[in-house]
Amino acid sequence: MEASIRGKLERISERFTEITALLARPEVQADQGQYRSLSREYAQIEPVVERFSEFCVLEHEIDGAREMLGDPEMRELARDTLAQAEQRRDLLEPELQRLLVPPDPDDERNVFLEIRAGTGGAEAALFAGDLLRMYLRYAEVRGWRSETLSESIGEQGGYKEIICRISGRGVYSRLKFEAGTHRVQRVPQTESQGRIHTSACTVAILPEAEAIDDVDLGPTDLRVDTFRSSGAGGQHVNVTDSAVRITHLPSGIVVECQDERSQHKNRARAMSLLRARLLARLRDQQASAQALSRKLQVGSGDRSQRIRTYNFPQNRVTDHRINLTLYRLDELIEGGLDPLIEPLIQEHQAEQLATLAETEH
C-alpha cells in the first residue's frame, strides 16, 4: 500500500477515535446539531476504520507467516497461511481505496423529482408520463415512498410538468445521475404513416434540504399566494383556497403545491421544495467550474442536449455519458433501472478514485 494512502487511513482512524470520545460527552449530546453532525461522520468513516483494522491484522499475519518459513517443521503451514492472508489483503486493498472516496453528503437525502416535457409537443408530454411511471415503479421496488406536489396535465395525456417527492433510504444516491435531458424515439399513437418521432423531456433531481441547512429564507423575501386546487372534480372537488404558491423574490424562484387539501400541509411542502431549489442553485454556482458537476446539469429540453435515448422500435436504451447501450427497454421502462444506474455509479466512483490518486501525488 502506498504511504500516502496509509497515512490517510491512519488519520481517519485517529478521527474515528476522537469522534467516539466526543459522542460520549454530555454537552455534545445536548447539542442536537453537533450530535447529528458527528453521528453522521461516525457512520461514514466506520466502515473505513473497520476495513483498515482488518487490513492491519492481515499484515501482521503475513509478517508472522514469513518468519515461520525459516522453520522446517512449520514451513508448509506458513506457506498456506501466507497465501491465504496475501489473497485476502490483495482483495481488501482496492476496497479500502474505494472507501476512501469522499461520500456525497446528500446521498441519504430524499429528493424532489421534476419532469418537464420539452421538444415534441403532445408526444413529449406522454413521454413525461412514461418516465414518471418508470421512476415510481423503481421507487416501489426499492421500498421508497412517493407523493405528488404539483402537476400540469398534457392535452392528450401525460404531463407538461410534474413534481414529486420521493423519500426513503439512499434515494439521492440512486437517482442523482438521472438529471438531464431524456430523448425518446418511437411511433406516436397519432401517427398514421408509422413514422418515428423524436421527443424529449428534462428530469431534475433535487436533494431535499434540511431546515438547518444554510438557506436564507427571510420572511420579507417571500410572497405567499393561495388559490383553489385544480382537479378532476367529483365529490372530492376542492372548494377552498388550499393550494399554495410561494415566490422567492430575490431569486425569482416560484414553487407551488396543491396536492393536499390542507393549506398548512401544502405550504410546508412548498417551503421544503423551495429550500431544495435554492440549495441546488447555491451548489451549482459553487461547482460550476468542476467538470464532474456538468454531468448533473439539466439542459433546456432540446433534443441535442441528451443524456439518454429510449428507442422503442429497437427496444434499446443508450446512456450517452458512459456509452452504454442495453437492448432491454421494456424491462427498464417498467422500473428495472439498476442495470443503468449501477454502471453510472461505478463510473463516478472510478473518476473520483482517479482524482484522489492525482491529489495524493
Tens digits of per-residue pLDDT, 161-211?
A: 999 999 999 999 999 999 999 999 998 876 767 788 999 999 999 988 765
Instruction: Look up the pTM and report it.
Output: 0.67
Q: What does 2-22 look like in DSSP terms, one character per residue?
A: -HHHHHHHHHHHHHHHHHHHH
**Fold designation for 111-212+298-359:** Alpha-Beta Plaits (3.30.70)
- Asked if the domains at 111-212+298-359 and 219-286 fall in one CATH topology, the answer is no
What is the domain partition of the chain in residue ranges? 3-100, 111-212+298-359, 219-286
Are the C-beta atoms of residues 152 and 176 closer than 8 Å to each other?
Answer: no
Q: Tens of pLDDT along 80-108?
A: 999 999 999 989 988 887 788 777 888 88
Q: Tens of pLDDT along 15-42?
A: 999 999 999 999 999 998 899 999 988 9
| Band of pLDDT at residue 336, cut at 50, 70 and 90 | very high
Element (H, E) at 284: helix 263-286
Are the C-beta atoms of residues 95 and 111 closer than 8 Å to each other?
Answer: no
Neighbours of 106 (CB within 10 A): 20
* Interatomic CA distance for residues 73 and 71, integer angstroms: 6
**Fold designation for 219-286:** Double Stranded RNA Binding Domain (3.30.160)
Are the C-beta atoms of residues 274 and 254 closer than 8 Å to each other?
Answer: no
